[in-house]
Structure 1
Amino acid sequence: MAVKKVLALHGYSQNATIFYKKLGALRKYCGKGIEFVFVDAPHILRPVDLEGINPTALGAAEAATDSEPNPEELPRGWWRTNPERTKYDGVAESVAVLRDVLAKNRFDGIFGFSQGAAMAALIAAILEKPHLYPPFLIDGQAPHPPMTFCVVISGFKPIDPNWKHFFDPDYSTPTLHVFGLNDVIMTPERTRSLVEVSANRRVASHTGGHFVPANAPWKLFLREYIKDPFGNVPQPATSDEALALASSLNGTPTTSAPASGRVSPALANP
């Protein structure tokens, strides 16, 4: 059986090592049939970048007490943003890093959490329209074919004017959107902004907060989606409210086993 190779992008204030550990239970459950490749964002965050932010709430490591910082615990981000979250500083450098990774490897899909989820969706969209951003090209060609799937956990639509056009009117990479009803950091309303421009989507929600769900049903669900993005894998059991919201965003009737696979462009704006 061929191994599925997945590019994994960490959240804001995390890094590749932290995300590797956070996905430990899922990685173990996926076994040798799925390989996650973790990449560091290029921007090391400064104290000013974390003012007013609780990094542990974002899934980062607890602050080190040693005088010398541990390189494996340095908080990183794919970009820095203004207070209005409308301008992103550093995206071009992150895209360049990922371009080079893509040029040296072949991936089946991309998996991101929080800011890394937005970055994953952006990379998926750029791979569909690479000539809209010439610096992404290598010898005039995209470094990698479009992804066969994208998994975004607590994601959102990038709205910086320099990048949002990749989602105009939408992007077509099959995408699984997962979010928590009680996520106060990346609210369902912000997640919906990305769902609405995802032409081929599957939406699943849980009752938790800002994290990658990792109990047994969710590990099974994520593993089976990665193995077959168009398979009929039921969403894990959750509250009626979570099921109803996920079903409405999927464009399907409320059910514990919402239909999966492609969603017609007519349902792109629920």
Structure 2
Amino acid sequence: MLNVLVIHGYLQTGETMRCNTQRLQAELRHIAELHYVEGPPMKDSSWGDSRPWWIMKSRSGWLDPDNRTDRWDETVRWWSEHLSEHPYDGIIGLSQGSAMTALLLSMLKSPETVPGFEPKRTQSIKFAILCSGWVSRLPPHKEIYDIPSDLPTLHKSLRLSAAGRALDETDGIVSARRTAELASLFGPKAVQKSHNEGHLIPVRDPWPRVFQDFIASAVQENRARPIPES
């Protein structure tokens, strides 16, 4: 049985993701167990149950009542502790969780580039699925991106016209261009498929089967890889 890490978005929690992906859980139950994590709690109660991985900046200013800048440091420490205790075979991310997925894959590849990130367990990530993500412009993140080029990944695809405009844009939160930019950071094993369920992890047909087939293929490919000589 595979252990799959599911990373929630900006104003979400693990429980939000769990409720929205019940059908996917059921369809994958014979090959994978989905683990819905929640980021560290916010100190300001005005955030409610939301657990953003870092604070994003809007045109009007920081989307944080306290104008805090150390949220990312809290997140790094949280991931260091969590990954020291829990092994995972794959990752599924949505929105900011998808952006976090790309960063986390880079952090696992080169942990020395991220101060405070010192997980005590080695992770054997065989695949990642990214929905509605983007490339973060937060200053600490610019030096982190170093995604493994041989990792099979599945991305929400965006059909673009020759002029670069989205032909089937159904995501009203993250633009087609930003999602495409994130996908471009991944290697030749990145697969893109389109869906029309908006800013969600797609769960209607045929997506459960798409996820299942992709995961099975990625795991089989991982088993077939030669063991590097010591």
Return the alpha-carbon distance in structure 2 between the equivalents of residues 46 and 134 of structure 1.
25
User: Where does residue 224 of structure 1 map in the other structure?
Assistant: 213
2:106 corresponds to 1:125: yes
Return the alpha-carbon distance in structure 1 between the equivalents of residues 43 and 155 of structure 2.
27
Match of 1:174 among 131, 142, 152: 152
Q: What is the identity, as a one-letter code, of the residue corresponding to 1:153?
A: C
User: Where does residue 203 of structure 2 map in the other structure?
Assistant: 214
| CA-to-aligned-CA distance 1:72-127 (integer Å, 9 cap, x gap) | xx222111112159987512212221222211121111111101111111111111
User: Where does residue 58 of structure 2 map in the other structure?
Assistant: 83
Return the alpha-carbon distance in structure 2 between the equivalents of residues 9 and 41 of structure 1.
9
| 1:109-258 aligned within 5 A | 109-138=90-119, 143-145=121-123, 147-167=125-145, 171-172=148-149, 173-178=151-156, 181-199=169-187, 200-229=189-218
Paired residues, number: 203
Per the TM alignment, residue 228 of structure 1 is displaced from its structure 2 partner at its CA by 2.3
Q: What is the identity, as a one-letter code, of the residue corresponding to 1:198?
A: F
Report SS of the residue matched to 2:16.
helix
Q: What is the identity, as a one-letter code, of the residue corresponding to 1:128?
A: K
- Go from structure 1 to structure 2 and tell me whether the alpha carbon gap of 1:80 and 1:105 turns closer, same or farther (over 3 Å shift): same
Return the alpha-carbon distance in structure 2 between the equivalents of residues 159 and 85 of structure 1.
16
2:75 corresponds to 1:94: yes
- Go from structure 1 to structure 2 and tell me whether the alpha carbon gap of 1:27 and 1:164 turns closer, same or farther (over 3 Å shift): same
Report SS of the residue matched to 1:76.
coil
Whether the aligned pair in 2 keeps the contact of 1:14 and 1:76 (CA below 8 Å) is: yes
Report SS of the residue matched to 2:192.
strand
| CA-to-aligned-CA distance 1:55-78 (integer Å, 9 cap, x gap) | xxxxxxxxxxxxxx7xxxx22211
Whether the aligned pair in 1 keeps the contact of 2:89 and 2:123 (CA below 8 Å) is: no
What stretches of structure 2 of length at least 5 have no aligned partner? 63-68, 159-168, 222-230
Deviates more, 1:94-103 or 1:173-182: 173-182
The percent identity for this pair of structures is 28
Return the alpha-carbon distance in structure 2 between the equivalents of residues 162 and 189 of structure 1.
22
Q: What is the identity, as a one-letter code, of the residue corresponding to 2:116?
A: P
What stretches of structure 1 of length at least 5 have no aligned partner? 50-68, 233-270
Return the alpha-carbon distance in structure 2 between the equivalents of residues 185 and 104 of structure 1.
34
Question: Hey, which bits of structure 1, 4+ residues long, moved more than 3 A?
Answer: 43-49, 84-89
**Greater relative contact order (Cα 8 A, min sep 6): structure 1 or 2?**
2
Q: What is the identity, as a one-letter code, of the residue corresponding to 2:87?
A: R
> Cα RMSD over matched residues?
2.7
Report SS of the residue matched to 2:3.
strand
Per the TM alignment, residue 22 of structure 1 is displaced from its structure 2 partner at its CA by 1.0
Whether the aligned pair in 1 keeps the contact of 2:154 and 2:193 (CA below 8 Å) is: yes
Return the alpha-carbon distance in structure 1 between the equivalents of residues 60 and 72 of structure 2.
13
Relative to the length of structure 2, the TM-score reads 0.78
Per the TM alignment, residue 18 of structure 1 is displaced from its structure 2 partner at its CA by 1.3
User: Where does residue 40 of structure 1 map in the other structure?
Assistant: 38
Return the alpha-carbon distance in structure 1 between the equivalents of residues 132 and 93 of structure 2.
9
Per the TM alignment, residue 227 of structure 1 is displaced from its structure 2 partner at its CA by 2.4
Q: What is the identity, as a one-letter code, of the residue corresponding to 2:200?
A: F
Report SS of the residue matched to 1:44.
coil
Return the alpha-carbon distance in structure 2 between the equivalents of residues 196 and 85 of structure 1.
29
Per the TM alignment, residue 160 of structure 1 is displaced from its structure 2 partner at its CA by 1.5
| CA-to-aligned-CA distance 1:114-164 (integer Å, 9 cap, x gap) | 0111111111111111111241125xxx63235221111111112222112
